[in-house]
Amino acid sequence: MLEIIHRDGLARIGKFSTAHGEIHTPTILPVVNPNIPTLTMEEMRNLGATAFITNSYIIRRNPKLREKAEKYGVHSLLGFNGPIMTDSGTFQSHVYSDVEFSNLEIVDFQRKIGSDISTILDIFSEPDFSYDRARAAVMETYRRMAELPQVDDTIIAGPIQGSLHMDLRKLSAELMSASQAGYLPIGGVVPLLENYRYDDLVDVILSSKINADFSKPVHLFGGGHPMFMGMAVLLGVDVFDSASYVKYARDNRMLFQDGSRDLSKIGSFPRWSPLYGKYTVEEVRNAAPEERFKLLSMHNLSAIFNELEEIREQIYQQRLWQYVEARSRSHPYLFRAFLRLLDHSGTLERFEDLSKKSTFFYFDEYSERVPYFKRIERNLGYIMTPERGNYRVLSPDNWHPGRTHSAEFISLYERTAERFLVPWNNTVIPVELDETYPFQQMISSGFVRPDSIAAAADIPEGGEPVDAVEGATRNFRLERVRMVADFQFGSGTGKKLFSDECEVRVSRSTGRLRSVLLKGQLMATLRAHDGFFTLGIAGAQKLLDISPGLMNRIVVTDDSAEFNAQGYNVFFKFVKKFDSSIIAGNEVLVVDDKDNLVAVGKSTVSGPEMGYYKKGVAVKVHRGIREKPEADQD
């Protein structure tokens, strides 16, 4: 089972164990043909390879290879003692109509030769397959998985098929997830990759991923071109495999992050290339065919691992969406795929963190369709599209994020009943959220749509008077923390969570909102980096009292509760029940079977993922009920 180390939506840096070591994701397994070795294992390891894939069907058909593999194992055959995955011959079966071995025979052979990940003989589905034909392939593939005896000496890979019929991809993902398959490749996609049908791939990957068991690594068969890797990882792909590094080299083509280029049109090698500084372009062009082929293969494999390293860093920084958005402009087919990606923003929003390490980037109208923008619309739709009631959009000339709390403005706010909104990227937001992610933590291009809410609104000049409303009294600080609570925990939460008796304190050094107390007890602290709440025990208990059912909760076993109450983290294997709408990175209430508060902490994953993982931390607890009382600090 995969253990998450870092995440950014569906993208994740993780690891899982095999009999010959751990595989760290995202990564690629270079295809090794034992009949035609191109690069040595040492050369490929030096370029970044830590695991490989080879074809068990090819090995079995070759008497010499078979004898050595059966006698000494596939690791000895390839000269590599790390993780090795074997394919089954599915593609050969599809191309040549039949193979001479059955599913049981080919899986048994993979086990005998010591494969770490063994693949069943599934039925390949072409993109143009009819619904009935694709469904028959899905069901036959599942039957072949079900006919296998229970094994524990290899990880079984159960490919997800279904052609371009998304309900079949969903069905296949669910069937394979419920089987003994511990590894889930997405199959039948090579024709889409070869024809740059990346927009269709977006649908295929997402339908497969969100209906699969999240604890099992997802592999994209044949997805080895660096141009599409970022988008694939963004959609939840953990592992790739490809022979592209040798296929392109055979045609004298070189892989780059934004596509491929012909050697004859190259002016110089990039600094990251293993050829840089060792060979001139002219020397490689004039090299003997086999030497040129090897050199270009080294460059291509380096291009792949160079891109993967960048993707990992983008996940760590939680900037992968911005990276993919920028990269999509490098090729029309990628941009078409990006537009398809935007069509799925509502689905992807469920997996987005509450806030991110990175600044929110606003480029143009397409940025208004990204997943986090969908969350803003969902949480603040009743405010962002004002149709009735008292509201006032503050003039951009008289409002700047984080500078609205002057004595004059606070006096005006507290003497009126109007809603004050501020322009933000072609829409409007409540002024109370001006310091909350992503409203202040943002860099904008300044693009303005003529038809936007902010542009179309009747924005009064800054000096226009606002009449006080008789009997209207509001506490600006209290209304601010209530609005943050509404955005963070759901509309209507703020007033229930923070009563009129609450005291809101500000930092003496920055003047920003700092904490909320009730009768001397710390309810919550506002985090400086994103403006959201970290709950204290008193605040957590109040949220528990006002939240029905499983809302905002994670229920743990009694054994776990004892430790969590002392401030220790919650591990996935001790989670019994949970709120399926939990937002990754948000505050959650840790409770026991009797709904007694045990601890409060930050969820590491979203609700849709929570029930799958069995390894790693589910909640990073920051306060248990048995710890010493909290003190408010500036």
Pinpoint the residues of the chain covered by CATH 3.20.20.105: 3-241
- C-alpha 126/C-alpha 438 separation (Å) is 42
pLDDT at 38 (0 to 100): 87
For the domain 477-624, what is the CATH superfamily, name and number?
A: PUA domain (2.30.130.10)
Are the CB atoms for 502 and 516 separated by under 8 Å? yes
Quick one: which of 94, 107, 206 has its CA closest to 157? 107
- C-alpha 212/C-alpha 215 separation (Å) is 9
**DSSP letter (8 states) at residue 583:** P
Angle between helical axes of 320-327 and 332-343 (0-180°, round to 10): 140
pLDDT at 398 (0 to 100): 56
pLDDT at 388 (0 to 100): 46
Selecting among 8, 87, 203, 238, the annotated active-site residue is 87
Pinpoint the residues of the chain covered by CATH 2.30.130.10: 477-624
pLDDT at 505 (0 to 100): 93
* Dihedral (Cα; 115, 116, 118, 124), 10-degree rounding: -110
CATH architecture classification, 3-241: Alpha-Beta Barrel (3.20)
Are the CB atoms for 87 and 80 separated by under 8 Å? no
Whether 87 is catalytic = yes
Tokens coding 277: 């500084």
Are the CB atoms for 258 and 329 separated by under 8 Å? no
Tokens coding 306: 């160079």
Burial class (CB in 10 A: 0-12, 13-18, 19+), 583: buried
pLDDT at 464 (0 to 100): 43
State the maximum Cα–Cα separation within the chain, in Å, rounded to a whole number.
Answer: 94
337 HSE (CA, 13 A, CB side): 33
The number of angstroms, rounded, from the C-alpha of 537 to the middle of its chain's C-alpha atoms is 31
pLDDT at 459 (0 to 100): 46
Are the CB atoms for 241 and 328 separated by under 8 Å? no
**pLDDT averaged per 10 residues, the chain (length 634):** 94 96 97 88 94 93 93 95 91 62 92 96 93 96 95 95 97 97 95 94 98 97 92 97 93 93 95 96 96 96 96 97 93 96 96 94 91 89 59 66 68 82 84 90 86 57 48 84 94 93 89 91 94 96 95 96 96 96 97 97 96 94 87 57
DSSP for 359-417, written as a single string:
PEEE-SGGGGGSHHHHHHHHHHHHHHS--SSSEEEPPGGG--TT----HHHHHHHHT--
pTM as predicted: 0.93
pLDDT at 36 (0 to 100): 83
pLDDT at 426 (0 to 100): 85
pLDDT at 99 (0 to 100): 67
